Amino acid sequence: MTPSLPIYLDAFRLSTLQAKSIQAMEALKCCTLCPRQCAVDRSAGDTGFCQTGARAKVASYNAHFGEEAPLVGRYGSGTIFFSHCNLLCNFCQNYEISHLGEGREVTDRQLADLMLDLQAAGCHNINFVTPSHVVPQILAALLTAAGDGLRIPLVFNTGGYDTVETLKLLEGIVDIYMPDFKFWDSEMAEKTCQAPDYPEVARAALLEMHRQVGDLFIDAYGLAQRGLLVRHLVMPKGMAGTRQAMRFIAANLSRNTYVNIMPQYRPCGRAHDIPELRGALTSTEFNQALKEANEEGITRLDQRRRVFIIP
């Protein structure tokens, strides 16, 4: 089936979106929306691992031209970067935003206006960056934005550390899921993110996302309209487990999964705390990752190469 209008418009028309928003807001009272399961009352301003209370915090919003080709098009992807994070990788390239929380709190009305501003600027989609901890706030703002004329696809651009239960709140709302599939090895996830359960959580999340939206559909203009796009950051010394990750995708999701094998690792944040992460990625390591993806049957790869890596 060829997607036409964003799927959240049906949810808005049928009041499904309103019901999901109410359910998500109720969940803030004893928050277990992400795998951290902090159980704090965020509706009262308490904060857990994500350091976010009742309101979302936004670091920036703009038309972004550095995203995957099917998201960028001619006028860019309308990115909204949320402050804080439920994963907190020690090598994060947005360390000031994710770890230090740079940004400002916004009301639902203000967040809706950001979406509408990006649409008015010609952006092809609304790209929520690091949204896992602010799903209730997004749903509440979307109610207003949809009522005021938002009509472009939504992208859920996540680190992959998402519960199936929360993802089900987004069924019929999110058009494009764009999760990271960071690590295959739980020991590496523990070292870098204090999340030894990351591999199993991410695998379950990928299965649920694919169940909801299927393979990525790209229209005649080269723009993504619906489906799953998986990101995989290649790590030095093969620490991301590229071959195993690609094998899982091919065997359990689809060999037609659109994947971005990303070469832009560099030691940011507190990466130097871990000896294996102190060096940059080499071209040999990146080319090996591409070879492993192809050997495991993943060949629908994003072709944009925007960074330089050392020989």
**CB–CB of 180/232 below 8 Å?**
yes
**Dist. CA 152–CA 225, nearest whole Å:** 9
In one-letter notation, the amino acid at residue 289 is A
Q: What pLDDT is stored for residue 255 in this prediction? A: 98
Q: Is there a domain that residue 308 lies in?
A: no
**What is the number of domains present in the chain?**
1
Which CATH number covers residue 276? 3.20.20.70
> DSSP secondary-structure letter at 1?
-
Residue 285 lies in a domain: yes
Q: Would you state the structure tokens that stand for residue 95, as one six-digit string? A: 């360390």
Q: Is residue 153 part of a domain?
A: yes
SS3 content of the chain, % helix, strand, coil (to 5): 40, 15, 45
Residues 222-277: pLDDT tens digits? 999 999 999 999 999 999 999 999 999 999 999 999 999 999 999 999 999 888 89
Q: Which parts of the chain sit beneath pLDDT 50?
A: 1, 305-311
160 located within any domain: yes
pTM more than 0.75: yes
Look at residue 115 and tell me if it is in a domain. Answer: yes
Average pLDDT, the chain: 95
In a domain, 47, yes or no: no
> What is the rounded CA–CA span in Å between residue 32 and residue 48?
10
Which residues on neighbouring strands pair with residue 206, listed in sequence order? none
pLDDT number for residue 3: 61
Residue 168 counted as domain residue: yes
Domain containing 248 equals: 8-39+56-295
- The pLDDT value recorded for residue 308 is 44
Among 82, 134, 128, 98, CA closest to 268: 98
Instruction: Examine residue 50 and state whether it is found in any structural domain, yes or no.
Output: no
